[in-house]
Amino acid sequence: MSDLATAPQLSLKAIELAKRVVRMTTAAGSGHPTSALSILHIVTVLLYRQMRHDPRDPWNPAADRLVLSEGHAVPVVYAAWADLGGVVGESPDSARPLTVDELDTLRAVDSVLDGHPNPQTAFPFFDLATGSLGQGLSGACGLALAARLDRLERRVYVLIGDGESREGQVAEALDFLVDNDLTRVVPVFNCNGLGQSDPVSQQQSAGRLALKAQAYGFEVERIDGHDVEQVIAALERAAAADSPRAIVAQTVKGWGVSAFQETNLHGKTLDEEAADSAIDELDGLEREVRVSAAAGAPVAAPVPSRPRREAVLPGRLGPPDFEALLADHKDLKKVRSGTFATRRAYGLALRELAKADPRVVALDGDVKNSTYSEFVAEAVPGRFFEARIAEQNMVSVAAGLAAGGKIPFAGSFAKFLVRGYDQLELALLSGVPLKLVGSHIGANIGADGPSQMGLTDVAYFGGLATVERPDGAPLVTLFQPACAVAAYHCVQMMADCPGAAYLRTMRPDLPFLYDPDETFEPGGSKLLRQGEDVALVASTYMVHVALRVAERLREDGIRAAVVDAYSLPLKDEPLRDVAAACRGRLLTLEDNYGNGLGAAVAGLVAEGVLGPCRLRQMHARTVPRSGRTSEDVLGEVGLSDDEIETAVRTAIS
């Protein structure tokens, strides 16, 4: 203990950082200084003493982690990082120390100091972007799971605001932490009592939060978050605990600066003159501490050495042999009868990929026997995590696993993954390779009704697919295969995507459309049936419908081409040739709501890259209801065979 920083040293350091927080936020004209000052002493103790990390090597996977769930409080971390000589940069090769002068570039467009923690702006101390509240504890659980898989002993400290603790995701994360015994995650609740617009509810008071955490199974220590000795002691006890333990810290928003405390100045900064006064006030506090302070600079905990890692060349999926993959499984008879659900193919593919690639992990939301991630749970149980019915937490845990070097596939019904879209968006800011898998897509699911159907996902992911990552890859690549063989190959393509990916799988067992060794590509589509009169461009269930309708039309001499457009962002090949062959008569077919595949094709048409075309987009036009068969439901939403046939006849007339 004697070689670690003392409480007076840390108190002095904290005041020094407070002054920088005031100056940098005044320079930026924004930046939440009051929240930053409420975590001032906790951050100081963490970064200067408690955390086992080397500011010159934030990439060391063995080093302790900080997740700042209340991301807006970040200026104090930036101030500490500059003071510690912490490095910034895209990679160790381009690393350079952050300078104190740079603090004044906070929030400038060419600064590494983004408004909220953002690893993508070359600030590698953070693994995970934060800023949308209530997600940090979940992400920390993911980082801790990844560490456990890699046999690393790093701890993950999480600072959570009292106001943001209202987000139910925090409760989900507490449950997940206990279920998985993630005692290396240390949640610290920062109770400054003030939200953005009002005092925090009594339901999120320090006392109530402590009671709640206890009810979730935590030992809770309550402290004064500005008493450095209490902060040190509590963090040491929590770090050493072998059962779930949380800290509830009472703090002051705008600590040390009376101008910040007169009213609740959330997100407000001081003008130059007020900043000068604030500095004077902090100087006064400094003098009071200095009287009793020992000399010397703070000294931090020892840095863990970088673990040696063998380079792993992961195996890859070959073409599926479903009979062999199923062995004596009851689903074998489905394959032998010539039909197989894409969701089942997903489960088998992920099982095989998990066996071949140690980075692959799977998560599910209590529907693994519907999504078929149960194949992974059975074969590779150590890399399957049951996240229960809590999709927000599941997606953020997956993001943490991805930030920890894993390739997580997180699945549930597509409908329920909507619960995790905000969490996905935050993960995308972190640039991590998160893979989501939504089953039971479309109106074709039938009997369970609209509350279980994924109907809005193509529009949403279609938007994300229009954005490029810094490496040029799509921000998200969407896959929506119509056939089990394609679904199997999609899993490898998802793993290969540098960015995020989303797979849509179907409930029904449907006929195979491809040979096992067919090749697929992100953004690709396949011409399944030649035609000259009209092209039916479809996805998932509607590919099968399109083939059926095309066959029926053939009897009347109408030759309809059928294209399986299984991925977005959609490449213009081979649509260009099909459009030309069909004199530009195009019909898109999808059993979700609109602004999906049809909008992607419309974009190509309107841009002119497919030549002269006229497109009709067919999709679910009304809210579906239950129906005992897929066709019953499709008939209700404007997608019966007859309606499609009529649309074709209109298109060619």
Considering only residues 377 to 396 of the shown chain, the ones binding a second copy according to CB under 8 A are 386, 388-390, 392-393
Residue 299 or 459: the one with the smaller Cβ distance to a second copy is 459
Does 594 participate in binding a second copy (rule CB under 8 A)? yes
Does 474 participate in binding a second copy (rule CB under 8 A)? no
Amino acid identity, residue 383? R
Tell me how long the chain is.
653
| Binding track over 55-84 against a second copy, x by CB under 8 A | ----------------x-------------
Shortest separation between residue 217's beta carbon and a second copy, angstroms: 7
Does 653 participate in binding a second copy (rule CB under 8 A)? no
Does 214 participate in binding a second copy (rule CB under 8 A)? yes
Does 374 participate in binding a second copy (rule CB under 8 A)? yes
* DSSP single-letter state for residue 373: T
Applying CB under 8 A, the span of 8-16, 433-441, 534-542, 612-620 interacting with a second copy comes to: 612-620
Residue 15 or 362: the one with the smaller Cβ distance to a second copy is 362
Task: Tokens for 205, please give them.
Answer: 């008071």
What is d(CA 349, CA 326) in angstroms, rounded to the nearest whole number? 11
Residue from the set 99, 196, 339, 650 that interacts with a second copy by CB under 8 A: 196
Residue from the set 148, 237, 334, 469 that interacts with a second copy by CB under 8 A: 469
Yes or no: say if 649 and 536 are a contact pair by the CB < 8 Å rule.
no
Yes or no: say if 30 and 286 are a contact pair by the CB < 8 Å rule.
no
Residue from the set 66, 335, 363, 613 that interacts with a second copy by CB under 8 A: 613
Residue 112 or 289: the one with the smaller Cβ distance to a second copy is 112
What is d(CA 166, CA 299) in angstroms, rounded to the nearest whole number? 36
Phi and psi based region of residue 617 (left: phi greater than 0; alpha: psi -120 to 50; beta: remaining):
beta
Task: Tokens for 530, please give them.
Answer: 């030649």
Residue 284 or 369: the one with the smaller Cβ distance to a second copy is 369
**Does 391 participate in catalysis according to the annotation?**
yes
Q: What residues between 513 and 572 interact with a second copy by CB under 8 A? A: none
What is d(CA 167, CA 161) in angstroms, rounded to the nearest whole number? 10
Does 217 participate in binding a second copy (rule CB under 8 A)? yes
| Binding track over 155-174 against a second copy, x by CB under 8 A | --------xx-xxxxxxx--
Distances (CA, A) of 304 to 46, 155, 401: 15, 11, 21
Residue from the set 14, 22, 28, 398 that interacts with a second copy by CB under 8 A: 28
Helices (H), 418-519: 421-430, 457-464, 484-496
Strands 534-538 and 560-565: parallel
What is d(CA 307, CA 462) in angstroms, rounded to the nearest whole number? 40
What is d(CA 104, CA 552) in angstroms, rounded to the nearest whole number? 69
Set 391, 518, 521, 631: catalytic member? 391
Does 650 participate in binding a second copy (rule CB under 8 A)? no
Sheet holding 219-224, edge to edge: 65-68, 156-161, 185-191, 245-250, 219-224
* H/E run at residue 456: none
Count CA within 13 A, CB hemisphere, residue 318.
4
Closest by Cα among 586, 602, 592 to 638: 592
Residue 286 or 457: the one with the smaller Cβ distance to a second copy is 457
Residue from the set 115, 136, 524, 531 that interacts with a second copy by CB under 8 A: 115
Residue from the set 116, 245, 489, 544 that interacts with a second copy by CB under 8 A: 116
Does 2 participate in binding a second copy (rule CB under 8 A)? no
Count CA within 13 A, CB hemisphere, residue 453.
24
Q: What residues between 482 and 511 interact with a second copy by CB under 8 A? A: none
Q: State the maximum Cα–Cα separation within the chain, in Å, rounded to a whole number.
A: 97
Applying CB under 8 A, the span of 95-103, 210-218, 298-306, 433-441 interacting with a second copy comes to: 210-218
Does 175 participate in binding a second copy (rule CB under 8 A)? yes
Applying CB under 8 A, the span of 201-209, 221-229, 288-296, 432-440 interacting with a second copy comes to: 201-209
Closest by Cα among 628, 624, 627 to 638: 624
Residue 407 or 610: the one with the smaller Cβ distance to a second copy is 610
Distances (CA, A) of 624 to 118, 323, 450, 588, 629: 40, 35, 6, 19, 12
Does 439 participate in binding a second copy (rule CB under 8 A)? no
Q: What residues between 330 and 369 interact with a second copy by CB under 8 A? A: 364, 366-369
Does 646 participate in binding a second copy (rule CB under 8 A)? no
Yes or no: say if 609 and 563 are a contact pair by the CB < 8 Å rule.
no
Applying CB under 8 A, the span of 142-150, 280-288, 341-349, 626-634 interacting with a second copy comes to: 626-634
Looking at the annotation, which residues are catalytic? 391
